[in-house]
A and B are shown apart, each in its own frame.
Chain A
Amino acid sequence: MHTVVDRIRRYSHWLVLFFLEGISLYLVLSFSMYQRSVWFTAANAVCGAVVEAEDEFLAYLRLGSENAELVQRNINLQRQNDLLRSEVARLTRDSTYTERLIAERLAGFNLARACVIDNSVMLRDNYLVLDKGSADGVREEMGVVSGTGIVGIVSQVTKHKALVMSVLNSKSSISCRIRGSEYFGYLRWYGGNTLCVSLDDVPRHARFKLGDAVETSGFSKVFPAGIYVGNIVKVRDSKDGLSYQLVVQMSTDMANLKNVTVILNENDSVDFQ
C-alpha cells in the first residue's frame, strides 16, 4: 500500500500535467467555435475511418460463408444456363429447320389449319380432337402434321370436329424411311415413352447410323414423302430376327400440341381464309 502511495506521490506531477492540460483543452474546445468545429470534423473523420476499417474487417471474416454461397449460386446459374442453352439450341434448330422442310414438302398441297381441342397421351390408344370438320374440307384418312413433324391420321369426322388417331396409338402404322436412303419400315408405338416410337421391318442390309433422320416415305396418299418424324436413337433386332427395329426419338411432343395442319386432298381443297 505504501509502495502504491509512494509511487503515486512520485509521479503526481504527471497527473497534474494531464489534469491541467485536460482543462486547457476543454476550455479551448468549449469556448472557441473554430477549434470545436475542427475537432469534431477530425473526430468524425477518425471515427468514420475506424468504423470503415471495422466493417472491412468484419466483411473479411464473412468472406468464407459468402464465398461458399457464391459458389453454390454460381453452380446453380451454370446449370440453369446450360439447360436454357440446350433448350434454346434444340428449339431454334428443330423448329426452324424442320418447319422449313415440312413447308417445302407440303408446298403442292392444300392445307387446313386446325387447333387441338382435346388430346390424350396416357392411354394405349390415343386420339386428338380438332376444331375442324367436314364443313372445312377435312375427311377421313387425311394426314395431320405439326410444325415439328407428323401427328396422326384423321379417323372420324363430324361437321365441325375431327377425331385424329395419334401416332401414339397401337393401331397406327405409318410408312416411313430413313432419310437419304430408300429403306423403309412402319412406324408403330408400343406404349411407354410418349417421345419414342418404333420403326419396324427395316431390312438388315439397310445402311444407317444412330442419329439419322426418319421421315415419311410417301408410299401412301396420307402423307407426302419427306415429312420429318424424328431421329434414330437405338437399334434392336425384331422378334423374328429377320429385320431391325429402330427406336425413333420423335420430333413432335404429342403432349404439347396446339396448332396442327391437316393435309387436304386436291379435290377437297377449301379456302379457309
Chain B
Amino acid sequence: MTLSIFNRIGQMLAVLCVQVLVLNHIHLWGYATPLLCFAFVALAPLGANRIQEMVMSFVLGLVVDIFSTTPGVCAGAMVLASFVQHYLFVLMAPKDSEPGLKPCAKELGRFHFIVYLSLILALGFIVYFALDCFSFCRSSDLFLALACSYVSSMFVTLVFVGLYGRF
C-alpha cells in the first residue's frame, strides 16, 4: 500500500516535470498545448483509494495551473477525470479482476486501453476548455484548440505510458 502511494507520487512528479519543463512551452499552430497530466489520472490502479486519487489529481492540476497562470482550470478538470476514471476502468477491465490491477494494454487489450485513455482525455479536455474559455461565443476557435490539444495530448500520453511499460 505504502509502496503504491510512493509509486503514484513518483508518477505525479514525473508528469509534473515533463508538463512544466517541456510541454508548457509547446504551442502547436498557436493553439495546441499538450497536457500530460491526464496520463497520471489514467494510470491509477483498480481499487485505489478514490479520495486519495482525487486529492493527488487536484494537487497536480493546481501546480500545473500555477505554472500556466490558469488557476483552478486544470485542477477542476483533473478532479473530475479522476472521479470518472474509476467507473471507466471498471467498465473496461476484465470481469473478476483483482484490486490493484494496473491499467495497461496487456490487461485491457490494446484497443480497449486506447479507448479508455481517449475517453479520459476527452472528458478532461472538455472540462478544461469549458473552464478556460467559459463561454461558447467563439466556438470554432474553441473546437480547433480542443481538437489540436486533444490529438497532441493523446500522442504525448501514449508515448508516456509506453515509456512506463504500459503499452
A residues apposed to B, CB below 8 Å: 12-13, 16-17, 20-21, 23-32, 34-35, 38-39
Q: Which B residue's beta carbon lies closest to that of A12?
A: B51
B76 surroundings in chain A (CB, below 8 A): 20-21, 24-25, 28
Contact partner of B58 (CB less than 8 A), chosen from A20, A31, A32, A38, is A20
A54 and B54 CA atoms in complex are apart in Å by 40
Q: Is B107 an interface residue (CB 8 A)?
A: no
Given the interface contacts A17-B80, A21-B80, A27-B75, does A35 sit within 8 Å of B134 by beta carbon? yes
Chain A residues near B55 (CB-CB < 8 A): 16, 20
Whose C-beta in chain B lies nearest to the C-beta of A29?
B72
Interface size on B, residues (CB 8 A): 20
A6 to B75, CA, bound (A): 29
In the complex, the number of residue pairs spanning A and B with C-beta atoms less than 8 Å apart equals 62
User: Is there contact, CB below 8 Å, between A23 and B72?
Assistant: yes
Q: Which residue of A lies closest to B84 (CB)?
A: A17
Given contacts A21-B76, A23-B75, A27-B71, contact A38 B134 (CB under 8 A): yes
Question: B71: which A residues are within 8 A, CB to CB?
Answer: 27-28, 30-32
A21 & B65 in contact (Cβ 8 Å cutoff) = no
Contacts of B54 in A (CB 8 A): 13, 16-17, 20
- Cβ-based interface call for B50 (8 A): yes
Q: Which residues of A contact B92 (CB under 8 A)?
A: none
- A17's partner among B72, B75, B79 (CB-CB below 8 A) is B79
CB of A43, distance to nearest CB on chain B (Å): 12
Q: A20-B55, A24-B79 are in contact. List 16 more A-B contacts (CB 8 A).
A: A12-B51, A13-B51, A20-B54, A20-B58, A27-B62, A27-B65, A27-B72, A27-B75, A28-B73, A28-B76, A30-B71, A31-B71, A32-B71, A35-B134, A38-B134, A39-B134
Contact check, B51 vs A16: say whether CB atoms are below 8 A apart: yes
Across-interface contacts of B51 in A (CB, < 8 A): 12-13, 16
Give the docked Cα–Cα distance between A38 and B55 (Å).
28
With both beta carbons as reference points, the residue of chain A lying nearest to B69 in the complex is identified as: A31
With a cutoff of 8 Å between Cβ atoms, the chain A residues found around residue B75 in the complex are: 20, 23-24, 27
